[in-house]
A and B are shown apart, each in its own frame.
Chain A
Amino acid sequence: MSSLTETPPAVRTAPARRIAVPAVPASPPRGLGRRIGRITGAVLTRIVAIAALAVIWEVFPRLELVNPVFLPPLTEVLAAWKDLLVSGELGNHTSASLARSAAGFGLAIAAAVPLGLLIGWYTPVANLLNPLLEVFRNTAALAILPVFVLILGLGETSKVAIIFYGCTWPILLNTVSGVRTVDPLLIKSARSLGLGPVRLFQKVVLPAAVPTIFTGIRLAGSASILILIAAEMVGAKAGLGYLINYAQYNFAVPDMYAGIITISAIGLLVNQLLVVTERRFSTWRTAN
């Protein structure tokens, strides 16, 4: 993605360099051509696998290499997707889904970051709770979904709660480890300046932990989408998970695939967004 957006300035600077180096007049244009070639190559590499999948998806059902009833050609799926979009149905399902994800994810950030900072800062608490946190993190959220439904019913609460649950552990564990793995030398050096515990935490521990915390937030963001769909397959009346499930029951196979494509696009988008955010907050860490 980034190589694409960086292209224009790189191309624009090339002629300026040609003026600066008159001794080799032939090489800059060739370098420019090579650069364009390299960028097109990079773009092609990124596209080629997805394009191949699209072609296979289109051609195999048409040649009846696979049953077109169960896997309709891509163009039919896209047509169904367009219909869903135009009718507004897709928009409704998507916003219902995103609202649940965002609520669970947001609550998890609000709760798990402060809690993680607290646990990480007090070593005995961390040692005490870490095994428990590991147990919870490694218990798949979906395995606990029936428990949530049992206690909280089939409504919104249980759906948001399960997403909240699934998002909490990666954030919590990363925050704890972020606080606990701060370079001891930095703490020693800050202590030598006479910094008290509060300012030490605010000026050294917290900024040092931010990149690790963001890794947790990114993982939780992906989790929020993954868990969402499963939660929506159980007793929901709207949402992409409901759409996929409902379409399958009613044998509206192209609609089902349209739902799947949407959810995978949203997943990619959310992840990309979080990766970019994470990078912004941890530029200083990359070069170490």
Chain B
Amino acid sequence: MSTPKIRFENVGKTFRARGATVTALRDINLDVRAGEFLVIVGPSGCGKSTLLDLAGGLAEQTSGRILVDDKPVTGPGLDRGIVFQQYALLPWRTAQGNIEFGLEAKNVPRRERAAKAREYLDLVGLTGFQDRYPHELSGGMKQRVAIARSLAFDPDVLLMDEPFAALDAQTRDGLQDELLRIWEKTGKTIIFITHGIEEAVYLGQRVAVMTSRPGRIKQIVDVGIDARSATEDLRSDPRFAHYRHEIWTLLRDEVKRARSEELEGTHV
């Protein structure tokens, strides 16, 4: 097998909070292939967002290392784009201006920026919305703009931190299909974080299930469903139900443990 696009090697992360040391992540070992759609699913508070911050270079691991194309991650970089749950759009810029923001960071010439921004607005299905400000867009549209912004500067890797969690179910379903289509078209490597089991099965070629805190990779499930976007109503496919149940079983104990720890925590 060729070298992985992203490799997590014994990655650990501890925080200091109120004088105590909290272990958020421990011994994370994970390889992500180039062009792969990998979903990480775990109970809330298991450190999956922290893991994404580490990969994005926004935080530093306490132990181990993360390699992208065999080079250790030392900070943020335009080879990785991050999509946040709360969109993180600049409210004083239009949709177009927001997409151009990433291109400015990459020092793309002005004229080229405008053309690129239009191209990616088209890609995410927002043709004609270039002059709208974020407050004039629905949640789903904002996330489309955020995705376009992350794609426009052409990173190899897209890191998505529960990007659809704040959206209503219908918008979410639509955007999931859209994301699969974009992924197939662009061939990006995607790490997608979610706490939704169905979302994980629907999107991921592989699903990494994490344990409750301290977060470790419990198991990686290969979701053997090909040509997702060609399959009509994938969710009612018996294979979908099979994988959903498998991941649900893996997660159930972790969610229970996380909850009881949370309760203990509040009693202290």
Q: Is the CB of A194 within 8 A of B77?
A: yes
Question: Scoring A residues 244 to 288 as 1 if CB is less than 8 Å from chain B, else 0, what string do you get?
Answer: 000000000000000000000000000000000000000011011
**Binding stretch for chain B, among A55-63, A202-210, A223-231:** A202-210
Q: Is the CB of A199 within 8 A of B105?
A: yes
CB contacts under 8 Å to A, within B24-69, are 56-58
Q: A204 and B90 in contact (CB under 8 A), knowing A192-B58, A284-B135?
A: yes
Contacting B101 at CB < 8 Å: which of A203, A208, A210, A288? A203
Tell me the nearest residue of chain A to B79, going by C-beta: A194
Q: Is the CB of A188 within 8 A of B86?
A: no
Q: Is the CB of B92 within 8 A of A195?
A: no
Main secondary structure of the interface of B (DSSP, over half): loop
Tell whether A186 is near chain B: CB-to-CB under 8 Å.
yes
Question: Scoring A residues 164 to 187 as 1 if CB is less than 8 Å from chain B, else 0, what string do you get?
Answer: 000000000000000000010110
CA distance A203 to B104 in the complex (A): 10
Tell me the nearest residue of chain A to B135, going by C-beta: A287
CA distance A186 to B82 in the complex (A): 12
Contacting B76 at CB < 8 Å: which of A193, A210, A288? A193
How many B residues, CB 8 Å from partner?
25
Q: Is the CB of A189 within 8 A of B88?
A: yes
CA distance A284 to B136 in the complex (A): 9
Q: Is the CB of A189 within 8 A of B92?
A: no
Tell whether B183 is near chain A: CB-to-CB under 8 Å.
no
Contacting A194 at CB < 8 Å: which of B78, B86, B136? B78
- Note all chain A residues with C-beta closer than 8 A to B81: 192
Tell whether B91 is near chain A: CB-to-CB under 8 Å.
yes
- Note all chain A residues with C-beta closer than 8 A to B105: 190, 193-195, 199
Contacting B153 at CB < 8 Å: which of A193, A203, A207, A287? A193
Main secondary structure of the interface of A (DSSP, over half): helix
- Note all chain B residues with C-beta closer than 8 A to A199: 105
Question: Scoring B residues 141 to 174 as 1 if CB is less than 8 Å from chain A, else 0, what string do you get?
Answer: 0000000000001000000000000000000000
Q: Is the CB of B92 within 8 A of A207?
A: yes
Contacting B88 at CB < 8 Å: which of A188, A195, A210, A288? A188
Tell me the nearest residue of chain B to A207, going by C-beta: B92
- Note all chain A residues with C-beta closer than 8 A to B78: 193-194
CB contacts under 8 Å to B, within A34-67, are none
- Note all chain B residues with C-beta closer than 8 A to A287: 133, 135-136
- Note all chain A residues with C-beta closer than 8 A to B101: 190, 193, 203
Q: Is the CB of A288 within 8 A of B91?
A: yes
- Note all chain A residues with C-beta closer than 8 A to B140: none
CB contacts under 8 Å to B, within A210-243, are 210
Q: Is the CB of A189 within 8 A of B84?
A: yes
Q: Is the CB of B91 within 8 A of A284?
A: yes
- Note all chain A residues with C-beta closer than 8 A to B12: none
CA distance A188 to B76 in the complex (A): 10
- Note all chain A residues with C-beta closer than 8 A to B134: 284
Q: A185 and B84 in contact (CB under 8 A), knowing A207-B90, A288-B135?
A: yes
Tell whether A191 is near chain B: CB-to-CB under 8 Å.
yes
- Note all chain A residues with C-beta closer than 8 A to B91: 284-285, 288
- Note all chain A residues with C-beta closer than 8 A to B76: 191-194
Residues of B within 8 A of A (CB): 56-58, 75-78, 80-82, 84, 86, 88, 90-92, 101-102, 104-105, 133-136, 153
6 pairs of residues in contact across A and B, judged by CB atoms under 8 Å: A188-B58, A189-B84, A192-B58, A193-B101, A194-B77, A284-B92
